[in-house]
Amino acid sequence: MITKPNAQDVKVYECDFLVVGGGDAGCSAAIKAAEEGVKTIILEKAKTDRSGHSGMGMDHVMDFPREGVSNLDYVKFFMGRHELLGGPGALMNPNVGYILGAKSWWALDHMNRWGYPMRWEDNDDYHWVRNGWFGKKIMIGVHWLDVKPVMAKKCREVGVQVLDRTMMVDLLTDKNGKVCGATAFNVRTGEFSIVKAKAVMVSTCNLARNYTSETPMHWKYKMRFHGHPGSISGDGFNACYKVGAGLCNMDIATNWNYRIRDDITIPFGSIDHGDGIRGQWMNAKGEPIPFPTAKMYDEIEKAGLDPIYCTIEHFNDEYQRRNEVCISDERFVSLYLGAQRGFNPKTHRYELMENRRFGFYGLSGVFTDENFKTDVEGLFCGGDTVLGLGGCGSACISGIIVGDQMKEYCATAAEPEVDYAHVQDVIDEVYAPLFEEDGTEPMEMESSIRYINDRYVGMHISEGKLKEGLKRLGSLKKHFMPHLMAKTPHDLMRCIEVRNIFDGSVLHFNACMERKESRGNFLRNDYPERNPENDNHISICRLVDGKDTIELMRAPELKPEYLEEGK
Amino acid sequence: MKVVKIENEKCIKCMKCYDNCPEDVLAVNEEGYPYLKYEGECWFCGICWMNCPKRCIDIKLPASLW
């Protein structure tokens, strides 16, 4: 039986550095900081040993400029690889890209030292893999099926206090607006706590659960997303937004356009990025087509040539073998599920599920400088939570860079102060669903929000639909949000998540409304042309004096010193 | 249809499945055996299946995901 606590009575943890989200970025940041004597806590909604994107495994880590790739070349790639999503131009901070490349080898030393399995075989060199977008062998292929247990163990060895099954509810700020900790909720015991910290890094991935899951049937298995389901309710996005950080590209960063049916991720492992043989896209007639953008998908559909498939049947035996290794490293279970379906993974043609949105990816995120510091004092971000970061291994690098700053930062940072009145408000909201007898279950609410995003943003956006969707979201909030219902800590977790999903959805609608053009995979039927004036402009949502604001902000320039030293 | 089946005869109650499930969809019954409590929230990641030292967990794709 869980009971609602009083703010003054809850358990208080104290540390210098709080990491929210114990995935690749979170663990790496925590280990680095703790090694330097910084008292560090990780809050992890699941269990650090198997949480985050690498919980199931991972087959590649990126990127390490080499083979004639200068740091400036790398920045160009870093900025360019999201053009499918966002259209031409720089839609992120190039200085973040620069520092990821420039510090990658330094970070790799740490990963080796901590026992992350970086080598292909014992005593072997790195397994250099071509980055499919960049065309250079700058990624490292890894056998990371069991990397998370290694990270979690190392965290404990160096003295990080790991609070598993404990999610952040919101960030705490002091009277100067500096972030000074977080409120937390144990999703198994129902215990509420406060974590006081001099600095906080949020690395809880992004938001995806505002859209329906990547399944043929959405009504039952609601958590099937390509990214990690537990961490994609936008908990970090929402918490950072509420304390004043800028949340970027909440409009255009929602469609990667290539989710595959049949429960196997064959074309997207290292092999695809590998030594030149990529999965082949084709139309229903088996005619080869390029990697399909959202617009191309529409054209193929109109011509009656869908579905679109991807196949690896042209791989030679050696590539087939290596591909199987990649799947085993990253999505081991999919081989088992593929066998259940009775198809031959080597010759099967994998269907592109449909042309629709599947949540936010690397081009969305919290705006940071190249030290991964947000505009809010005391608040850093890591991994996929950062604008422009998406994918494997950059997360580790960003985390190590943040962890490295903590000793110096915490030495001069203000002591945390807790506003207990605010904490009590948070507690009232978190536990309210316990007292609702005849209300709405959180997963029903989530499904309804997902439907509104699917229907009223969708692939083809128009102002009328956005207005209608916002009206429906408002009505849902008014009539049902106050009556969320839960009996267990697990369901209370879902209630906290659904509030974050709701708030993220509203920002998504607002951002879509503001962008009056089509670009990349962002297609507005009422504004079908790209506005070149918006190239190099990031859309940024920010809470200012309690009011939602949104503007298009010119992306920062690469700093002159980096232009010089990065050649 | 149970999509995650745990054979109690082979299970040694080590709780590795329950401990590691990233979606927290498993629970422990009165006899101390883990079982799939929140079926609709399972995302078929296979972490319970691959961590089981006794190989007593089976994952079955249901009709709606076929």
ipTM metric? 0.97
Is A328 in the B-facing interface, judged by CB distances under 8 Å?
no
Residues 6+ apart with CB under 8 A from A459: A255, A294, A298, A355, A356, A357, A523
Using a CB-CB distance cutoff of 8 angstroms, which residues of chain A are in contact with residue B65? 215-217, 221, 224, 263
Is A215 in the B-facing interface, judged by CB distances under 8 Å?
yes
- Which residues partner with B58 through β-bridges? B5
Give strand ranges (E) for A203-325: 247-248, 280-282, 288-289, 309-311
Using a CB-CB distance cutoff of 8 angstroms, which residues of chain B are in contact with residue A351? none
Find, among A500, A233, A192, A8, the residue nearest to A183 by Cα: A192
Crossing angle (nearest 10°) for helices A463-479 and A442-456: 170
How confident is the model at residue A264, as a pLDDT?
62
- A146 contacts A57 by C-beta, under 8 angstroms: yes
Q: Do B24 and A443 touch (CB under 8 A)?
A: no
Using a CB-CB distance cutoff of 8 angstroms, which residues of chain B are in contact with residue A225? 43
Q: Do B21 and A46 touch (CB under 8 A)?
A: yes
Q: Do B46 and A263 touch (CB under 8 A)?
A: no
Distance from CA of B9 to the nearest CA of A (A): 23
How confident is the model at residue A271, as a pLDDT?
65
- Which residues partner with A539 through β-bridges? A552
Chain A residues 162-191 with a CB less than 8 Å from chain B: 165, 187-188
How confident is the model at residue A289, as a pLDDT?
93
Q: Do A332 and B38 touch (CB under 8 A)?
A: no
Q: Do A337 and B59 touch (CB under 8 A)?
A: yes
How confident is the model at residue A566, as a pLDDT?
77
d(CA A470, CA A457): 10
Interface of B with A (CB under 8 A): 3, 19-24, 38-47, 49-51, 59-62, 64-66
A537-544 and A247-248 beta bridge pairing? antiparallel
How confident is the model at residue A269, as a pLDDT?
55
Q: Do A165 and B24 touch (CB under 8 A)?
A: yes
The beta-carbon neighbor of B65 closest among A187, A216, A336 is A216
- Which residues partner with A281 through β-bridges? A289, A310
Per-position pLDDT tens, chain A of length 567: 789 999 999 999 999 999 999 999 999 999 999 999 999 999 999 999 999 999 999 988 888 999 899 999 999 888 887 777 888 888 999 999 999 999 999 999 999 999 999 999 877 889 998 877 778 889 898 999 999 999 999 999 999 999 999 999 999 999 999 999 999 999 999 999 999 999 999 999 999 999 988 776 667 788 888 777 778 999 999 999 999 999 999 999 887 656 677 666 554 556 666 566 778 889 999 999 988 888 899 999 999 999 999 888 888 898 888 888 888 898 888 888 888 888 888 888 888 878 888 888 888 999 999 999 999 999 999 999 999 887 766 899 999 999 999 999 999 999 999 999 999 999 999 999 999 999 999 999 999 999 999 999 999 999 999 999 999 999 999 999 999 999 999 999 999 999 999 999 999 999 999 999 999 889 999 999 999 999 999 999 999 999 999 999 999 999 999 998 877
Radius of gyration of chain A (CA): 23
- B66 contacts B17 by C-beta, under 8 angstroms: no
- Could you give all domains of chain A from N- to C-terminal order, each with its CATH number? 10-206+232-251+358-419 (3.50.50.60), 266-351 (no CATH)
d(CA B2, CA A295): 40
Is A49 in the B-facing interface, judged by CB distances under 8 Å?
yes
